[in-house]
Amino acid sequence: MSSNTQANPEYQLGEKESTNYINASKGLMSWLFTIDHKRIGLMYLFTIMGTFALGGFLALAVRLELFTPGQTIMGPDAYNRVFTLHGLVMVFLFIIPGIPAALGNFVMPLMLGAKDVAFPKLNLASFHIYVIGTVMALYTTLDGGVDTGWTFYTPYSSTIDSQVVMMTMSAFVLGFSSIFTGLNFVVTIHKMRAPGMTWDRLPLFVWALYATAIIQVMATPVLGITLLLLAMERVMGIGIFDPALGGDPVLFQHFFWFYSHPAVYIMILPGMGVMSELITTFSRKRIFGYRAIALSSIAIAVISFLVWGHHMFVSGQSAYAGMVFSFLTFLVAIPSGIKIINWSTTLYKGAISLDAPMVWALSFLILFTIGGLTGIFLGALGTDIHLHDTYFVVAHFHYVMMGGTAMAFFGGMHYWWPKMFGKMYNEFAARLAAWTVFVGFNVTFFPQFIMGSRGMPRRYYDYLPESGYQIFHQISTVGSWILLLGMLIMAVNLFSSLKNGKEASSNPWEARSLEWLTQSPPIEHNFHEIPTVVEGPYEFPIATATATPQGAESSDP
C-alpha cells in the first residue's frame, strides 16, 4: 500500500506536455460550446469577475452617496435602484455561482480523479443559462431597474411600477443554472469517484460542494415558484400575497426565505470547503477532525432549512413561530463552530507559511468568526427587535458573505491559479492585495456595526447631520476606497501573471489532493490514466519532506 502513495516520479519531474486544455483547440466557438469542465469553469470565473466588478462599483456608489447627508451624487430613486442592483448582482450573479460554478467546476472533477462531471452538456447548459439570466438582469437594469431590494417583498413589489417581472424572471432563469450545477455535482460526487476514492478520502472542498449542491437542488425550485407567483401576482392579480385581495403578504416572506436562507449557505459552504484546503496545505498538517468538518457541512445544509423565520421576527409572523425559529437558529452555530474550532486546531503547531492564499484564509477565519458571532445577536428574538433592518444587519452579513465567502473565493482563486493557467503570480503583490483588502474590509464594515447598534436603518438614502452617524458613514466610505485599491492590486497582479508570470510546477504548494497530480495547466482529459487513491487527502508527511498527491496515476498494482 505504501508503495502506491507516491505519485509516479517520472511524471512529476518529467517535462510538461505542450498540449493542455487551454490550447488543445482554438477559436471562440471551441470555448463557448466546450463541454470540458475546466473551460466551463474558466468561463464562469471570468464572467463572475465581471459581475463582481459591476456589483462592486454599485457598492462604491452607495457608499459615496452616504458620505454626506442629503444628496451627494444621486437622488433617492437612483439610490434605491443602485442598492437593489448591488444586492441582486452580488447575490445571484456573484456569490451563489462564485465558488461552486467557477472554482468547483474546475477543481472538483480533478479532485475526484474523474475525467469530467457526470453531465458535461448540462454543465455547459448551466453556463449558457447563467449568461442568459445575466443578460436579462443587465437589460432590466438599463431599462430602469428595480427598487424593491433584492428581497422583492410584497405588497410593494407586486404593486410598484418598475421592472419587477423582468427582474424576477432573470432570477428565475439564474435559478435553473444553479439547479443544474447542483444536480451535476451531486451525481458526479456519487458516481464519478476514482477507484479508492472513498467518502472518507474525499477532499473537504468536495464535501462542502456536495452539501452546497444538496441545498441548490432542494431550495432553488422554491425560489422559482416564488418568483413565478410574484410575476403572476403582477400579471394576473392572483392575490395570494395581497391582503387587499384576501391573500397574506407574510406568506411571500416564508416562500422567499425558504430558498434565500438556505441560499446563504449555498454562498458560505463552498467557502468553508476552500478554507479546509487552504488551512491544511499551508500549515502542512493533517486536518483536525476530518469527519466532523465533513459532516458539519451536511448538518449545516439540513439545518439551513429550519431557520428561515429569523428573517421575519418583526414581519407579523406568529410569536410562537418566532420563538421556534429563534431556538432553531442557534443550532446553526454548532456545526459552524465545529468548523472554526477545527481549523484553529489544525493551525495549532502547524508549519504555517503565509503565502497569499493563506492570508486570505486567515482573513476568512477572523472575519467569518466576527460575522458568525454577530449573527447570534440577530438570532435572539429580543435583540433582533432593536437591530432588525439596521446597519448592524448589513455589517453582519457583509462580514459573513464578503468577509467569508469572497475571501475564500479569492483565496481559492490564488490557490488554484497556477493549476488553472500554469503561471505563478507575484507573491508579494498578492499578499499586499490580501492584506489591503483585509484592512479595507474592516474599515468599511466595522463602523457599520456601531452605527447599526445606534439605530441607523439600512437601505436609507439619508440621515440627519445631527444624528452622529456621519462620521461612521465617512469612515466606511473611506474603507470602501481601500477595498477598491486592494481589489485593483489583485486584479492587476493576477492578469499580468498570465503574460509575465513564471511557469508553475504541477504542485507548487505541495498539496495532497488529486488535482495536483496532473500537470499545470491540466491536459485535456485531466489524467492519462485514472489514478488509484490509496489514502486521505491530508496525510502530510513531516513538515520538511515533499508532499505528493494522494494517489498514483498508474492503476496497476
Q: Is 120 in the site for other proteins (CB under 8 A)?
A: yes
Q: What residue type is 421 in one-letter code?
A: F
- N- to C-terminal Cα separation, the chain: 9
Matching residue, cell 450545477: 181
Residues 83-102, interacting with other proteins (CB under 8 A): none
Give me the numbers of helices (H) and strands (E) for the chain, helices first please.
Answer: 19, 4
Please report whether residue 295 would count as binding other proteins according to CB under 8 A: no
Comparing CB distances to other proteins, the nearer of 326 and 426 is 326
**Residue nearer to other proteins on the CB measure, 22 or 114:** 114
Distance of closest approach, residue 176 Cβ to other proteins, in angstroms: 9
User: Which residues lie closer than 8 Å to 368 by C-beta, 6 or more apart?
Assistant: 268, 340, 399, 400, 403, 404, 407
Closest separation between CB of residue 290 and other proteins, Å? 17
Nearest approach, Cβ of residue 465 and other proteins (Å): 37
- Give yes or no for a contact between 452 and 387, defined as CB atoms under 8 angstroms apart: yes
| Residues composing the chain | 557
Q: Which is nearer to other proteins, 312 or 487 (CB)?
A: 312
Binding residues among 179-208 for other proteins as defined by CB under 8 A:
179, 183-184, 186-187, 190-199
Are 268 and 400 in contact by the 8 Å Cβ rule? The answer is yes
Query: Would you list the DSSP string of 349-409?
Result: T------HHHHHHHHHHHHHHHHHHHHHHHHSHHHHHHHTTBHHHHHHHHHHIIIIIIHHH
**Nearest approach, Cβ of residue 275 and other proteins (Å):** 26
For residues 240 and 378, which CB has a smaller minimum distance to other proteins in the complex?
240
Whole-Å CA distances, 172 to 49, 150, 158, 263, 539: 22, 13, 16, 14, 43
Closest separation between CB of residue 233 and other proteins, Å? 8
Residue 367 is placed in which grid cell? 472575519
Q: What are phi and psi of 553, to 5 degrees?
A: -75, -25
Stretch that binds other proteins, among 128-136, 203-211, 224-232, 392-400 (CB under 8 A): 224-232
User: Is residue 220 near other proteins by the rule CB under 8 A?
Assistant: yes
Q: Write the DSSP assignment of 306-340 as a string of letters.
A: G-GGGG-TTTT--HHHHHHHHHHHHHHHHHHHHHH
Toward other proteins, which CB reaches closer, 197 or 401? Answer: 197
Count of residues of this chain found to bind other proteins when the rule CB under 8 A is applied:
62
475 binds other proteins (CB under 8 A): no
Are 134 and 155 in contact by the 8 Å Cβ rule? The answer is no
Establish if 114 lies at the interface with other proteins (CB under 8 A). yes
Between 140 and 550, CB nearer to other proteins: 550
**E strands along 391-512, which residues?**
423-424, 502-503
Compute the distance between CA of residue 85 and CA of residue 323 in angstroms, rounded to an integer: 33
Binding mask 231-270 for other proteins (x = CB under 8 A): -x---xxxxx---xxxxx-xx--xx--x------------
Among 54, 61, 90, 222, binds other proteins (CB under 8 A): 222
Backbone φ, ψ for residue 551 (5° rounding):
-135, 175
Residue 118 as a binder of other proteins (CB under 8 A): the answer is: yes
Find the shortest distance in angstroms from Cβ 220 to other proteins. Answer: 7
Cell of 497: 501573471
- Judged by beta carbon, residue 199 or residue 348, the one nearer other proteins is 199
What letter represents residue 413's amino acid?
M
Question: Chain-centre distance of CA 434, in angstroms?
Answer: 17
Closer to other proteins by CB, 258 or 409: give it.
258
Q: Does 1 bind other proteins (CB under 8 A)?
A: no
Spell out, one character per residue from 309 to 348, where the chain touches other proteins: x when CB under 8 A holds, - when not. Answer: x------xxxxxx--xx-----------------------
Q: Which residue number, 191 or 502, has a Cβ lying nearer to other proteins? A: 191
Q: How far is the CB of 319 from other proteins (least distance, A)?
A: 5
Give the Cα separation of 410 and 400 in Å (integer): 14
| Local structure of residue 526 (DSSP, 8 states) | B
Q: Which residue ranges make up the site for other proteins (CB under 8 A)?
A: 114-116, 118-120, 122, 179, 183-184, 186-187, 190-199, 214, 217-222, 224-226, 229, 232, 236-240, 244-248, 250-251, 254-255, 258, 305-306, 308-309, 316-321, 324-325, 525
